[in-house]
């Protein structure tokens, strides 16, 4: 089923008003119109944009009944570090405060929204692997589709610029020619040696926990069917955030179980996810593995480090922070985790992006203490993580939004794919066991991509 014809005439009138306002204020002015449409699946918009070669994105949490997709770039906001990301958040507030909009009363979001992500470590030296994904990038799409419950809405966005100012929406980085970059992951023995070195560092008291990531390469002579992979992921992992960001000829996609932060009004949700076991082949075996995970001293310690750190971070920017006394088990198709949900009340004037900066990187993907763990990651990991394990998600016109931790993910460029996984290393970690855990975490993307790679 195709989308109904968009109200181009009305948007043209709004854009004329926006141009006049931009001329008088000397600042860019957004024109944005939203209306309900018949299109049911936002992934169709993403697929069509991908086929045209447009920059685009997709986001869905099937269990929660929410899906978003966008195509084109009306406005792009970029940043290199945390201070610039905070200014990015304020810049977005300025843009929406002067916008010319025609909202739909039933629309579940407060007007237009940005979608994008941040790197895991903004201080890390980038390589060609993540070309086009340098730094933090958030895009206001020209066309966006949102599905929530039984409704689907189309939003068209255009930005009017003051005279003499270039159209920033058309100045996004163009794809560059050249061969696909290699992930340079090293072999399994190299990674196990790095784990052993980090264990010794932790036993000497350098850090409590360090997350080491690894990458594996996958090649397809005919390229990868990203849309089919996304369909597979959302069917197989309905309790995960399934996402894709396509730009500069590459796609970063995944199915992550880990919410970093969600903000609705002042209500804040965050997740602590650390400690992993495999799934059993029978119900009895599965229950036994879950019970062993709950009783594991090593996994309990790894999880406690994450909970403690996130509670401290939320205390800095929120009120009434609450957490259950004991972790639960979160069961996914391939693994099960220790899981503790957190909730809080945000202090006034916070945005979802502001909260994400307070929390990221959590010990679930970095370690603790934060700076010591990052130093050890930079020394021993020898991997350009780029956006892997960084925040990815959306933020609306009112600052509400949701960002997930971009794990269980892959970067696809042409015939090459780099798949990423990380493990939390503590004093009792065993390199062989951690390597086996990383293989389980690589499985979702490996199966989704390989199933279509031939």
Which amino acids are annotated catalytic?
209, 258
Sign of CA dihedral 401, 407, 408, 413: positive
Distance of alpha carbon 424 from alpha carbon 189, whole angstroms: 18
Contact 107, 34 (CB under 8 A): yes
Region of residue 186 (left: phi > 0; alpha: psi -120 to 50; beta: else) = left
- Check if the beta carbon of residue 404 is closer than 8 Å to that of residue 388: no
In whole angstroms, give the CA distance from residue 300 to residue 340: 11
**Cα–Cα distance measured from residue 189 to residue 431, given in angstroms and rounded to the nearest whole number:** 9
Residues forming beta bridges with residue 156, ordered by sequence position: 33, 143
Rounded CA separation 40/350 (Å):
33
C-alpha of 155 from chain center: 22
Beta bridge partners of 159: 30
Edge-to-edge strands of the sheet including 151-160?
100-102, 29-36, 151-160, 143-148, 66-71, 56-61, 241-247, 250-256, 409-413, 416-425, 209-219, 367-368
Cβ neighbourhood burial of 289 (10 Å; 0-12, 13-18, 19+): middle
* Closest listed residue to residue 270, CA positions, set 323, 336, 207, 327: 323
Task: Please provide the DSSP assignment of 284-351 as one string.
Answer: HHHHHHHHHHHH-HHHHHHHHHHHHHHHHHHHHHEEEEE--SS-EEEE-SSEEEEEEEEEEEEPTT--
CA distance 35 to 412: 33
Per DSSP, which regions of 65-150 are E strands?
66-71, 75-79, 100-102, 113-117, 136-140, 143-148
Q: Give me 45's structure tokens.
A: 């918009």
- The answer to whether the beta carbons of residues 420 and 443 sit under 8 Å apart is no
Question: Rounded distance, CA 429 to CA 198, Å?
Answer: 10
* Residues 385, 119 contacting (CB under 8 angstroms): yes
Rounded to whole angstroms, how far apart are CA atoms 399 and 382? 36
29 alpha-carbon distance from chain centroid: 28
């Amino acid at each position: 089923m195709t989308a109904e014809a968009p109200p181009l005439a009305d948007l043209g009138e709004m854009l004329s008003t926006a141009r006049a306002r931009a001329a008088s204020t000397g600042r860019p002015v957004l024109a944005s119109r939203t209306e309900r449409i018949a299109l049911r699946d936002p992934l169709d918009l993403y697929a069509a944009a991908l086929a045209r070669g447009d920059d685009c994105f997709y986001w869905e949490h099937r269990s929660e009944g929410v899906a978003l997709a966008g195509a084109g770039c009306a406005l792009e906001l970029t940043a290199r570090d945390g201070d610039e990301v905070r200014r990015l958040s304020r810049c977005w507030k300025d843009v929406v405060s002067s916008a010319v909009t025609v909202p739909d009363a039933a629309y579940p979001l407060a007007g237009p929204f940005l979608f994008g992500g941040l790197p895991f470590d903004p201080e890390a030296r980038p390589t060609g692997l993540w070309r086009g994904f340098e730094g933090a990038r958030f895009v206001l799409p020209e066309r966006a589709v949102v599905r929530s419950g039984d409704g689907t809405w189309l939003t068209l966005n255009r930005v009017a610029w003051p005279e003499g100012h270039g159209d920033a929406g058309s100045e996004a980085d163009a794809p560059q020619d050249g061969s696909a970059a290699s992930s340079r992951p090293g072999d399994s023995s190299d990674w196990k040696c790095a784990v052993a070195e980090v264990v010794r560092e932790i036993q000497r008291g350098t850090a409590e926990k360090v997350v080491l990531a690894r990458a594996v390469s996958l090649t397809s002579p005919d390229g990868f069917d990203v849309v089919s992979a996304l369909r597979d992921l959302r069917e197989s992992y309905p309790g995960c955030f399934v996402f894709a960001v396509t730009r500069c000829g590459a796609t970063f996609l995944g199915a992550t179980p880990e919410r970093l932060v969600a903000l609705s009004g002042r209500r804040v949700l965050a997740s602590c996810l650390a400690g992993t076991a495999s799934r059993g082949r029978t119900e009895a075996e599965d229950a036994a593995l879950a019970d062993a995970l709950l009783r594991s001293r090593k996994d309990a310690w790894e999880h406690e480090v994450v909970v403690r750190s996130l509670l401290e971070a939320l205390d800095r920017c929120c009120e009434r922070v609450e957490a259950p006394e004991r972790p639960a088990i979160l069961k996914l198709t391939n693994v099960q985790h220790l899981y503790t949900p957190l909730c809080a009340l945000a202090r006034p004037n916070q945005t979802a992006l502001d909260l994400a900066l307070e929390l990221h990187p959590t010990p679930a993907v970095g370690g603790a203490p934060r700076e010591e763990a990052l130093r050890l990651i930079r020394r021993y990991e020898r991997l350009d993580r780029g956006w892997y394990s960084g925040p990815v998600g959306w933020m609306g016109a009112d600052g509400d939004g949701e960002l997930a931790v971009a794990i269980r993910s892959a970067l696809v460029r042409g015939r090459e794919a780099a798949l990423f996984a990380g493990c939390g290393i503590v004093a009792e970690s065993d390199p062989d066991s951690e390597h086996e855990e990383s293989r389980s975490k690589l499985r979702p993307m490996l199966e989704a991509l390989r199933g279509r790679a031939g």
